Amino acid sequence: MGGTGAERRRAGWRLAWPAGLALAACSGSQSALDPAGSEAERVAQLFWVMLIGTGVIWSLVIGAAVYAARVRPGPHDPAISRRLIHWGGIGLPVLALTALLAYGLQLMPELRAAGDGLKIEVSGEQWWWRVRYQTADGRSIVSANEIRLPAGERVELTLASPDVIHSLWIPNLAGKVDMIPGRVNRLVLEPTRTGNFRGVCAEFCGASHALMAFAVVVVTRPEFEQWLSQEAAAATGASSAELRRGAVLFEQVGCGGCHAIRGTAAAGTIGPDLTHLASRRTLAAGILPNEPAALRRWIAAADTIKPGVRMPSFGMLPAADLDAIVAYLASLE
């Protein structure tokens, strides 16, 4: 890089800002470098140790190259060169790589330790998440597209899939684990603080793989208990004529064939359980805000929002009918 000092500084800044952007992306609700769980803390620790370790090795190698090319070009003493190759080229890499490998391996058993309290079954569907809470006292509570966790407790997730391979990844909480048809994988999590995080599918699973996320909400134990008992309850009855009309239409146009709303005749299992849809943070697996306008758009034209979606679009319904269904679903707290 030639030119004046000022030019060089400007060039330096041009190089620095992408690095700054990359670092700015390290904190947030979907970042493995901003851990909020003990597993993710270990993953982040491994990352930093590896980064620093490889940084030191890189500096030594580049330093040796610069020394040989610029500082002292020309022939070197063959005896010293041979010793340098033996120690620097064989001894040092063997020692450094063995140390880093041993460090990485000793982190692994901890990642696998089982939990013994709450269990959550998560099934990767195309392209959403079926979630079932199994409590220690034997309750089984169905939900979708959102995982709530109590802070400071070990929770075991059992991961499965009925058809294609997915991978569940909540970067702030833990590493990713595949969901493989025909087998059940386990992931033990221990969130260390409350907050809202984002999970994603980390294994290509079809047309809308990139449109398959979920909200992760870590709350305190009492908040979790309260939410869980609300989630376990059946839907509250439609309280006005418009909501009742929406509930009837929901059945008439066939939504109930694929969706369950506990407490009503709708008991479908092809799509997400909608019993408490309105209390979820997002719609359609983390891709739309949970608000009436987005809900209406989804029901009218799900296929334009999510290519290949396994839900028919209902754009042919009269506007008033769509409104009634939206109002009914938006009332399902």
Q: Point out which residues bind Cu ion (CB under 5 A).
A: 166, 201, 205, 209
- Judged by CB under 6 A, the stretch of 25-33, 38-46, 130-138, 280-288 that binds ligand HEC is 280-288
How does strand 155-160 pair with strand 166-169? unpaired
In the region spanning residues 307 to 326, those forming contacts with ligand HEC, defined by CB under 6 A, are 309-312, 314, 325
In the region spanning residues 237 to 266, those forming contacts with ligand HEC, defined by CB under 6 A, are 250, 253-255, 257-259
Binding-site partner at residue 253 among ligand HEC, Cu ion, none, CB < 5 to 8 Å by type: ligand HEC
Please tell me whether residue 281 binds ligand HEC under the rule CB under 6 A: no
By C-alpha distance, which of 169, 217, 177 is closest to 193? 217
249 CB-near residues (< 8 Å, 6+ apart): 317, 321, 324, 325, 328
By C-alpha distance, which of 269, 285, 277 is closest to 325? 277
- At residue 284, the 3 state secondary structure works out as coil
Binding-site partner at residue 141 among ligand HEC, Cu ion, none, CB < 5 to 8 Å by type: none
By C-alpha distance, which of 297, 235, 305, 296 is closest to 263? 235
Give the count of beta carbons closer than 10 Å to the beta carbon of residue 235.
Answer: 21
Cα separation, 151 vs 119, whole angstroms: 14
Residue 13: its H or E element: helix 5-24
Nearest 5 degrees, angle CA 267-CA 283-CA 212?
95
Cα separation, 210 vs 218, whole angstroms: 24
Q: Choose which of 285, 324, 327, 332 interacts with ligand HEC (CB under 6 A).
A: 285
Binding-site partner at residue 324 among ligand HEC, Cu ion, none, CB < 5 to 8 Å by type: none
Nearest residue (CB) to Cu ion, 266 versus 305: 305
Binding-site partner at residue 209 among ligand HEC, Cu ion, none, CB < 5 to 8 Å by type: Cu ion
Please tell me whether residue 270 binds ligand HEC under the rule CB under 6 A: yes
Q: Choose which of 283, 324, 327, 332 interacts with ligand HEC (CB under 6 A).
A: 283
- At residue 121, the 3 state secondary structure works out as strand
Binding-site partner at residue 40 among Cu ion, ligand HEC, none, CB < 5 to 8 Å by type: none
Q: Choose which of 35, 37, 171, 272 interacts with ligand HEC (CB under 6 A).
A: 272
Please tell me whether residue 177 binds ligand HEC under the rule CB under 6 A: no
By C-alpha distance, which of 323, 169, 149, 179 is closest to 250? 323
How does strand 140-144 pair with strand 195-201? unpaired
CB of 124 to ligand HEC, least distance (A): 11
- At residue 153, the 3 state secondary structure works out as coil
Binding-site partner at residue 314 among ligand HEC, Cu ion, none, CB < 5 to 8 Å by type: ligand HEC
Please tell me whether residue 327 binds ligand HEC under the rule CB under 6 A: no
Interface contacts to ligand HEC, rule CB under 6 A? 127-128, 144-145, 250, 253-255, 257-259, 270-272, 274, 277, 283-285, 295, 298-299, 306, 309-312, 314, 325, 329
